[in-house]
């Protein structure tokens, strides 16, 4: 008789192949007449693999969400994200962090700002609070020119948004 796995010749009465360890069940192939225990362990292995794959996909999705879609929770974080989006020229991200209002003028202004100016660098300074808004002193370098000013942020529905950016 020959082993169904490795093809080497083995004794007809062998319970397993002495070369590769394949179970023969006295000459009957293991795949033809596998014991219920062998089938259960094979199914269990498949479930473990499927479960591990599902967990890996869920962790990857959470990581992508955290990196791309998580909204900063502090005024400083929102303002930093706004300025970083400006540096990239990403007006969609800038709009995500800015207060939109009822008209499209703010979005148009942000789009124009992102397309026609380059924010070389920014530095956040002192923070003040007037009871309704946070003001953060900012030092910017726009198109190679230093600009100092204040950014103003307000909180609505638990989210900070940029009202004024310099």
How high is the pLDDT of residue 38? 53
Strand, helix or coil for residue 29 = coil
Residue 39: pLDDT over 60 = no
How high is the pLDDT of residue 61? 87
Q: Give the domain ranges of the chain.
A: 75-164
Fold of 75-164: Nuclear Transport Factor 2; Chain: A, (3.10.450)
Higher pLDDT, 148 or 33: 148
How high is the pLDDT of residue 36? 55
Q: For the chain, percent helix, then strand, then coil, each to nearest 5?
A: 40, 25, 35
How high is the pLDDT of residue 50? 92
pLDDT in tens, 132-146: 888 999 999 999 999
Write down the mean pLDDT value for the chain: 81
How high is the pLDDT of residue 32? 47
Cα distances from 166 to residues 2, 139, 143, in angstroms, run 82, 9, 14
pLDDT in tens, 61-112: 887 776 666 778 788 998 999 899 899 888 888 888 887 655 677 788 888 8
CA distance 166 to 151: 5
How high is the pLDDT of residue 109? 83
Residue 123: pLDDT over 50 = yes
pLDDT band at 30 (very low <50, low <70, confident <90, very high): very low
């Amino acid at each position: 008789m020959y082993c169904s796995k490795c093809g080497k010749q083995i004794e007809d009465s062998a319970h397993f192949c002495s070369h590769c360890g394949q179970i023969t069940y006295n000459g009957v192939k293991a795949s033809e007449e596998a014991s219920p225990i062998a089938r259960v362990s094979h199914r269990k292995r498949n479930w473990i693999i499927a479960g591990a794959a599902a967990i890996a996909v869920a962790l990857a999705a959470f990581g992508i969400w955290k990196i791309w879609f998580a909204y900063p929770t502090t005024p400083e974080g929102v303002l930093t994200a706004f300025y970083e989006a400006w540096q990239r020229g990403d007006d969609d991200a800038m709009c995500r962090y800015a207060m939109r209002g009822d008209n499209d003028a703010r979005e148009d202004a942000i789009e124009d700002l992102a397309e026609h100016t380059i924010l070389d660098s920014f530095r956040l300074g002192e923070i003040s609070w007037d009871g309704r808004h946070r003001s953060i002193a900012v030092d910017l370098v726009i198109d190679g020119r230093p600009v100092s000013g204040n950014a103003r942020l307000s909180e609505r529905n638990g989210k900070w948004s940029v009202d004024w950016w310099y």
